[in-house]
A and B are shown apart, each in its own frame.
Chain A
Amino acid sequence: MMPGAYIPSAYLPILITLMAATAFVAGGLLLGAIFKLRRPYSEKLLSYESGNPPVGEPRERFSIKFYVVAMLFVVFDVEAAFLYPWAVAFGNIGLYGFWGMVIFILIIFIGYAYDWKMGALDWKAVNKGTREG
């Protein structure tokens, strides 16, 4: 090991916890495999559909709204992530930091208001027109 190399030792316990959790799951799966009880027949292996034989493809077309939500999430979650370091450092960055963030949040809000006005945040109104199309 190089002298003076940075060793993130505070994070080592997390790695060990991760391994312990994985071992726990693996142990559970192993126990399950030991007590394995399998008497499959073709009806049992069908996907569940209220007792009827499944109709059509399960992975059908679904509402476009899910994509919109995912896109909004990416945008707003990144913006939320910008707030964390700012919040921690807030005591040291003074007035400049405060007004800087006010302007940042204002800009977010313009986008947010636009999304709202365009109906990106409404689940119902959009579905009314497009669902049966």
Chain B
Amino acid sequence: MDFVITLAIIVIKIAVVFGAVLFHVAYATYFERKIIGRMQARYGPMEVGPHGLLQPFADMIKLFFKEDIAPASADRPLFYIAPAIVVISAMTALSVLPFFDRFVIADIDIGLLFLLVITSLSVYGIVIAGWASNSKYSFLGGLRSAAQLISYEIAMGLSLVGVMLMAGSLNLSDIVRAQHQHPLGMFAFPQFLGFFVFVVAAFAETNRAPFDLPEAESELVAGYFTEYSGFRFAFFFLGEYVAMLTMSAVAALCFLGGWTIPMFMTNAMPFLSYVPGIIWFLVKVYAFMFFYYWIRATLPRYRYDQLMAIGWKVLMPLAFVNVLITAFAKRWL
């Protein structure tokens, strides 16, 4: 009986998290178009519902009724499997994220490691999509994307080592608690170098501007999902936005203090401690998402050789230096 109750709680938690994340993905697309529109001095979506608020649902319905085309020369089984891999790996990653104190689907000790592992599985989906489509654009896009993802994964993994050193744990809840105990309240301050590397790598890992070369419209049409249409295209889209939200959540949890706020802030303004943790967490995630859009509206795309040079020649040495400095500071300061 106990087991059934535990199981029911897990299932309810998963339903809540999936529902919340899908809702956020729908409105992340809306706000992206709206914010970038405003930054370019236009309105963005306005027609469907007041201020275009129903636009995500209209898009969803449209995508479902679109014709599902698989090119005759495509490798059918792989072509069908690829979007599923991307979405399943992106959504499974949500299971270790603590949204507020003691609310996490799976409170495992190696949360951060699991997150790195499961998010990097989406590379398989991308490479398979690029290969199976049997189209030149998809093929090149898939290759480019794979090379980009694996290059920046090293920098990202190394940038998080500083956080692991400071927290002494891989459990994401423990990392947040360690930040709360730290006098500065957020690892983004003592780990500013790591935070910088993480932010740049997070942009590259999610294929977002200014590192959106795999889907560089002007040269590769849509990159690895050129041949996809209808709901299979929607799955890639969904996977990308879930990955963006996951990255924002990791940034919030590992560098910005998760659901807590620094103690010096609650000491100065005691009323802030009455605000529930989920609000702080969401504020941080939204801020990071806004940063994604802001960068997309601001910076032009890098060239491919520049992209590789940034990953291998700038971020990686910086991350190594950060690890050594952090270890030194932890041992002697």
Contacts and interface: CB of A to CB of B under 8 A. Distances in A.
B37 interface: no
A90 B168 contact: yes
Given A14-B105, A80-B154, A25 B87 contact: yes
Contacts, number: 197
Secondary structure at the B interface, as helix, strand, loop or mixed, is helix
Interface in A28-53: 28-29, 31-32, 35-40, 42, 44-50
Contact of B320 (A12, A38, A95, A105): A105
Contacts of A116: 313
Given A14-B114, A46-B71, A24 B18 contact: yes
Nearest to B137: A48
A73 B151 contact: yes
Contacts of A108: 320
A59 B92 contact: no
B108 to A, nearest CB: 5
B31 interface: no
A90 B163 CA distance: 12
Interface stretch (B179-187, B204-212, B223-231, B270-278): B223-231
Contact of B143 (A32, A49, A50, A66): A66
Interface residues of B, number: 81
A20 B323 contact: no
B67 to A, nearest CB: 5
Contacts of A70: 146-147, 150
B96 A73 contact: no
A32 B233 CA distance: 12
Given A28-B231, A70-B147, A83 B66 contact: no
Secondary structure at the A interface, as helix, strand, loop or mixed, is helix
A9 to B, nearest CB: 9
Interface string B216-236: 000001000011001110110
B283 interface: no
A48 B232 CA distance: 16
22 contacts: A11-B106, A18-B95, A22-B88, A25-B87, A32-B68, A32-B232, A36-B68, A46-B73, A47-B135, A58-B136, A59-B139, A62-B140, A66-B143, A66-B146, A76-B316, A80-B154, A84-B113, A87-B165, A88-B170, A90-B165, A90-B168, A121-B308
B128 interface: no
Interface in B277-333: 304-305, 308-309, 312-313, 316-317, 320, 323-324, 327-328, 330-331
A16 B13 CA distance: 11
A60 interface: yes
Interface of B: 7, 10-11, 13-15, 18, 64-74, 83-84, 87-88, 91-92, 94-96, 105-109, 113-114, 131, 133-140, 143, 146-147, 150-151, 153-154, 157-158, 161, 164-165, 168-170, 221, 226-227, 230-232, 234-235, 304-305, 308-309, 312-313, 316-317, 320, 323-324, 327-328, 330-331
Contact of A14 (B7, B96, B143, B158): B96
Nearest to B94: A17
Given A17-B106, A21-B87, A37-B65, A12 B10 contact: yes
B106 A14 contact: yes
A84 B161 contact: yes
A114 interface: no
Interface residues of A, number: 66
A73 B134 CA distance: 26
Nearest to B64: A35
A130 B149 CA distance: 24
A14 B157 contact: no
A88 B227 contact: no
Given A20-B18, A90-B330, A83 B84 contact: no
Given A47-B135, A59-B134, A87-B165, 7 more contacts: A14-B114, A38-B67, A58-B135, A70-B146, A73-B153, A83-B323, A90-B165
